[in-house]
Every structure is written in structure tokens, then in C-alpha cells.
């Protein structure tokens, strides 16, 4: 009897697995189409470019059928999977293994899409032998011209320009963050929950293939913290992603003078690995006595209350407490729902803080290649937010102008943290001092790097 049931069970599972494969194939088609809309590489020509000189969209007539086919097929595959799953659950089958496989493949597709998003311009920059450095908050020009706006509206225009440039990377970060929240396995979380240095290195390793800017990495770090990861690995992931991702290392080694390339790579290791570990050790002393100390800290009481209120936006426990999804369709539903919650938090914060950062840039004084210039660059560079590896063309421009100390400082402080990154960290962990200490440590490292090149 048992031998007869096995072939029957395999035949009933075959359509179910086919529905999963169909879902993944057309999800991959949609991701490829969207990244081509951002980068414009699938079709040889006839792209209608939206935004000059910073291109927001590369539109082609071929995108429409690809999006229609991909979107409709993904929805139909999900409905097909849902119907088949109801029959399988009646047989009391354990669907955790297919769920885990689906999560891994979706994560791999998102990472591949991210590498494509970063890899296409990287290849173009390498072919040209340089990276463009121009006006605008990202150094690649502005989609929205702001010169004709009143001075008090120009920072808002810069904030919108920033969102128009990073929309694809920010979207991927929210999808990956949502997937982390609902599907992080016990083995991964067990490695990130420890306070040891090995767990810290696991956070760094997790960041290496993911070239996020600091404001995109921070929501994922906050998601990991809420999932149960220790503070050290969370800080390591958040800072290592913009500083030590493979794309940034390749670009630094290829496009910068040797001594600056070594500084970018070695400095990234120092900041992302050792500095974050030291900050986590310091912060661990506060966590146990936070409730008693906070009443006597008048200087930070207002910001702590603000971040406590903000951290409620990161209250993912309602979904996380349900545990890991026990079926592929539950995984997909929870993943999309969690991504939507992340989007409600990240998008407004990016716009507001990008605009505030632009106001800060207006107040930044002109400096030279001296200690004062290094301090000013380190201060504003710690607060500014830029896409990952944007610091490389900025530094190249400073080197060409004869400001090597400014370039050295910018190489370390620009990618490491930013105002939105620090705000999200503070809100996620519920402790403002952690974010302040992290920012001050990056600021100090930037000064040291600049002094070396004076």
C-alpha cells in the first residue's frame, strides 16, 4: 500500500511544483524588465529616456508586453498554487521545505536583479575609464532643474531628485528587507543573535553581495534587529553594505589611484568591521540600564522620546510573531505585506531627510585642503546620503583639483552613514545614543583619514 501511495503523491505534487516554477520564472521576467526600465540594456536602441541628464526611466515599446505577460502570469501562477495548496493541506503534508526553497530562490532573484542594476553602469564606467561627476546631490546631474526655483524650495527639489535616482535600489531594499523579516531561517538568525565577533563577521558577510547605500541598508538592518539579531551584526551589515560591497571595491580598485583605493578598502574594513564592533560593545553597557539612565539624561530626552515614537513604526512583531510561513503562498502574502509596511516608513523618511540634507549642504562653507576643510568634509559627509560608490567620482574630482585630504575623508564618511540611516537605526533599536555614537565614530575616522593625506 505504501509503495502505491508514493507514486500517487508524486503525481499530485508535480502540478504544485510546476506552479512554483512558473511563478518564479515570470517573477524573474518582471524583475528583468523593471531593471531594464532603469538601466536600458536589453534593447539595442529606441529607448525613450525620461529625465536629463539623470535618467529616471528608459522606456521601450517592448517593456509593455513583457510587463503584461509577467504580471498576469505571476498572478495566475499564485492563484494556481493557492488552489493546489488547499488540496495538499488536506493530506497534512509538510510544505516547509518548498517554502524555504521558494524564499531562497526569490532572494537570489532579487540579489541578481540588484547586481544587474549596479553592474550595468559599472561596466559602462569601466569601459569609459571614469565615473561621471557633475551637479546634483548624487554627482550625476539633476532630473528636475532647481536653478529657477526659489532658494527655499531648492532643497526639496534636491530631495525629489535623490528619490528619482535611487528609486530602484530603494525598492529592492524594501523587498529584500521584507523577505528577511518573514523568511529568515533559524540558522541565520542564530548566527546573528550572538554578541561575539563571529556573529559580527556574519553580519559583514551578509552585506558583501548587497550594494545598498546607507539609507537603503538601514531598513534591512532594523528588520534584522526586530527579528532578533544582535546589535553588533546589525550595525556591521548596515555599514558594510555601502562600504564593502563587491561593486564598490571593484570600482575603487579600478578607478582610483593606488593609495586611495587601498584607503577605501582598508578603511571600509576598519569602519564596517572593527568600529561597529566597538560601538556595539559600548552600547551593550547602556542597554541593561537604559530605563534608569534615560530619566537623568536631559540632553537626549527629547530625541529619545522622538525616536521611541518613531520606533513604533517599526513594530513588525505582529507579523513576525506568527513565525516562519508554513507554505509558499503564505510566504508570498506575508512578504508582500511586510514590504508594503517598509515602504510606508522608508519613502517619506527618504524624501524628508534628503531635503533636510540639501539644506545642510547650502550652509556648508567653502574649504581648502587643510585641517579645517577635513573637519567640515567629515562632518557634512557623515550626515549626507549618497548612493553607494558615489563617493568614488567625488573623491576622483577632489584629487584632480588638488584636494587629496578632502578626497580621503569623503571616501570613508560619505558611504558609511547618513542622516536617514542614523534615524532609522535609532528608531529601530529604540536608543538614540547608539546612532549618535556611530555617527561620531565615523566622523572621527574621516578626520584621521584626511590628516594622513594632508
pLDDT in tens, 390-421: 788 788 878 888 899 999 999 999 999 988 88
Q: What is the mean pLDDT of the chain?
A: 81
Quickly state the pLDDT bin for 66 (edges 50, 70, 90). Answer: very high
**pLDDT attached to residue 212:** 80
Closest CA to 450 of 421, 417, 409, 416: 409
Task: Name the grid cell of 277.
Answer: 564592533
**pLDDT attached to residue 275:** 95
Task: Name the grid cell of 257.
Answer: 589611484
Q: What is the rounded distance in angstroms from the CA atom of residue 130 to the CA atom of residue 323?
A: 48
What residues contact residue 298 under an 8 Å CB cut-off, 6+ apart?
none
Q: Return the percentage of the chain with pLDDT > 70, whole number.
A: 82
Quickly state the pLDDT bin for 287 (edges 50, 70, 90). Answer: low
Mean pLDDT lowest among 31-45, 132-146, 353-367 = 132-146
Quickly state the pLDDT bin for 167 (edges 50, 70, 90). Answer: confident
Q: Which residues pair with 49 in a beta bridge?
A: 58
Q: Is 209 exposed, middle or buried (0-12, 13-18, 19+ CB in 10 A)?
A: middle
What residues contact residue 350 under an 8 Å CB cut-off, 6+ apart?
159, 162, 163, 166, 170, 215, 420
H or E segment at 25?
helix 2-39
**pLDDT attached to residue 143:** 76
Mean pLDDT throughout 108-132?
79
Mean pLDDT throughout 288-292?
49
Task: Name the grid cell of 352.
Answer: 524628508
pLDDT exceeds cutoff 60 at 265: yes
CA 298 distance to own-chain centroid: 33
Closest CA to 237 of 428, 38, 395: 428
Quickly state the pLDDT bin for 300 (edges 50, 70, 90). Answer: very low
Three-state SS at 146: coil
Q: What is the rounded distance in angstroms from the CA atom of residue 93 to the CA atom of residue 13?
A: 10
**pLDDT attached to residue 216:** 78
**pLDDT attached to residue 317:** 47
Quickly state the pLDDT bin for 91 (edges 50, 70, 90). Answer: low
**pLDDT attached to residue 350:** 74
Question: With contact defined as beta carbons under 8 Å apart, do 382 and 422 qualify?
Answer: no
Mean pLDDT lowest among 107-116, 178-187, 435-444 = 178-187
Mean pLDDT throughout 18-40?
96
Q: Is 427 exposed, middle or buried (0-12, 13-18, 19+ CB in 10 A)?
A: buried
Three-state SS at 431: coil
**pLDDT attached to residue 52:** 75
What residues contact residue 137 under an 8 Å CB cut-off, 6+ apart?
158, 161, 162, 354, 357, 358, 361, 384, 386
Q: What is the rounded distance in angstroms from the CA atom of residue 119 to the CA atom of residue 320?
A: 33
Q: What is the rounded distance in angstroms from the CA atom of residue 204 to the CA atom of residue 241?
A: 8
Q: Which residues pair with 57 in a beta bridge?
A: 50
Quickly state the pLDDT bin for 151 (edges 50, 70, 90). Answer: confident
For 348-357, the pLDDT digits (tens) are 877 776 777 6
Three-state SS at 448: helix
**DSSP secondary structure, 312-346, as one string:** GGG--HHHHTT-S-SSHHHHHHHHHHHHHHHHHHH
Q: What is the rounded distance in angstroms from the CA atom of residue 1 to the CA atom of residue 6?
A: 9
Q: Number of helices (H) and strands (E) in the chain: give both, helices first.
A: 20, 2
pLDDT exceeds cutoff 70 at 308: no
Q: What is the rounded distance in angstroms from the CA atom of residue 185 to the CA atom of residue 190?
A: 8
Mean pLDDT lowest among 18-22, 33-37, 114-118 = 114-118
Q: Which of the two residues, 35 and 192, has the higher pLDDT score?
A: 35
Mean pLDDT throughout 146-165?
81
pLDDT exceeds cutoff 60 at 3: no
Question: With contact defined as beta carbons under 8 Å apart, do 154 and 178 qualify?
Answer: no
Closest CA to 172 of 34, 20, 21: 34
Question: With contact defined as beta carbons under 8 Å apart, do 233 and 326 qualify?
Answer: no
Q: Which residue in the block uniquely carries the three cell numbers 537603503?
A: 216
Q: Is the dihedral of CA 225, 177, 414, 201 positive or negative?
A: positive
Task: Name the grid cell of 210.
Answer: 548587497
Residue 46: count of CB within 10 angstroms of its CB: 9
Mean pLDDT lowest among 21-25, 76-80, 219-223, 291-295 = 291-295
Residue 123: count of CB within 10 angstroms of its CB: 11
Amino acid at each position: 500500500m505504501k509503495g502505491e501511495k508514493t507514486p500517487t503523491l508524486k503525481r499530485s505534487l508535480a502540478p504544485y511544483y510546476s506552479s512554483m516554477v512558473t511563478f518564479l520564472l515570470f517573477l524573474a521576467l518582471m524583475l528583468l524588465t523593471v531593471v531594464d526600465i532603469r538601466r536600458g540594456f536589453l534593447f539595442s536602441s529606441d529607448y525613450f529616456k525620461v529625465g536629463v541628464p539623470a535618467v529616471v526611466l528608459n522606456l521601450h515599446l517592448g517593456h509593455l508586453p513583457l510587463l503584461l505577460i509577467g504580471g498576469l502570469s505571476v498572478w495566475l501562477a499564485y492563484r494556481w498554487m493557492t488552489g493546489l495548496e488547499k488540496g495538499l493541506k488536506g493530506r497534512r503534508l509538510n510544505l516547509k521545505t518548498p517554502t524555504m526553497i521558494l524564499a531562497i530562490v526569490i532572494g537570489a532573484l532579487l540579489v541578481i536583479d540588484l547586481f544587474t542594476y549596479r553592474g550595468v553602469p559599472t561596466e559602462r564606467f569601466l569601459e569609459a575609464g571614469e565615473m561621471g561627476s557633475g551637479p546634483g546631490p548624487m554627482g550625476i546631474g539633476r532630473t528636475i532643474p532647481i536653478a529657477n526655483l526659489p532658494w527655499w524650495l531648492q532643497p526639496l527639489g534636491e530631495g525629489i531628485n535623490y528619490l528619482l535616482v535611487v528609486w530602484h535600489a530603494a525598492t529592492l531594499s524594501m523587498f529584500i528587507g521584507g523577505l528577511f523579516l518573514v523568511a529568515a531561517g533559524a540558522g541565520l538568525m542564530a548566527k546573528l543573535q550572538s554578541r561575539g565577533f563571529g556573529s559580527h563577521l556574519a553580519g559583514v558577510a551578509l552585506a558583501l553581495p548587497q550594494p545598498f547605500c546607507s539609507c537603503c541598508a538601514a531598513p534591512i538592518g532594523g528588520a534584522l534587529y526586530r527579528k532578533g539579531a544582535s546589535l553588533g551584526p546589525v550595525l556591521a551589515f548596515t555599514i558594510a553594505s555601502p562600504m564593502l560591497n563587491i561593486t564598490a571595491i571593484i570600482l575603487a580598485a579600478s578607478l582610483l589611484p593606488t593609495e586611495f583605493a587601498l584607503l577605501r578598502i582598508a578603511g571600509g574594513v576598519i569602519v564596517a568591521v572593527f568600529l561597529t564592533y566597538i560601538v556595539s560593545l559600548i552600547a551593550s553597557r547602556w542597554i541593561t540600564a537604559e530605563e534608569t539612565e534615560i530619566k537623568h539624561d536631559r540632553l537626549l530626552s527629547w530625541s529619545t522620546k522622538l525616536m521611541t515614537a518613531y520606533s513604533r513604526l517599526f513594530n513588525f512583531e505582529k507579523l513576525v510573531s506568527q513565525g516562519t510561513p508554513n507554505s509558499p503562498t503564505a510566504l508570498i502574502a506575508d512578504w508582500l505585506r511586510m514590504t508594503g509596511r517598509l515602504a510606508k516608513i522608508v519613502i517619506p523618511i527618504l524624501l524628508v531627510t534628503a531635503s533636510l540634507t540639501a539644506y545642510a549642504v547650502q550652509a556648508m562653507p567653502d574649504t581648502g585642503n587643510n585641517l579645517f576643510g577635513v573637519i567640515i568634509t567629515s562632518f557634512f559627509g557623515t550626515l549626507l546620503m549618497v548612493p553607494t560608490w558615489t563617493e568614488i567620482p567625488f573623491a576622483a574630482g577632489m584629487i584632480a583639483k588638488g584636494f587629496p585630504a578632502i578626497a580621503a575623508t569623503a571616501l570613508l564618511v560619505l558611504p558609511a552613514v547618513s542622516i536617514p540611516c542614523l534615524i532609522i537605526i535609532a528608531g529601530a533599536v529604540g536608543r538614540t545614543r547608539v546612532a549618535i555614537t556611530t555617527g561620531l565614530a565615523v566622523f572621527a575616522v574621516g578626520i584621521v583619514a584626511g590628516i594622513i593625506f594632508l
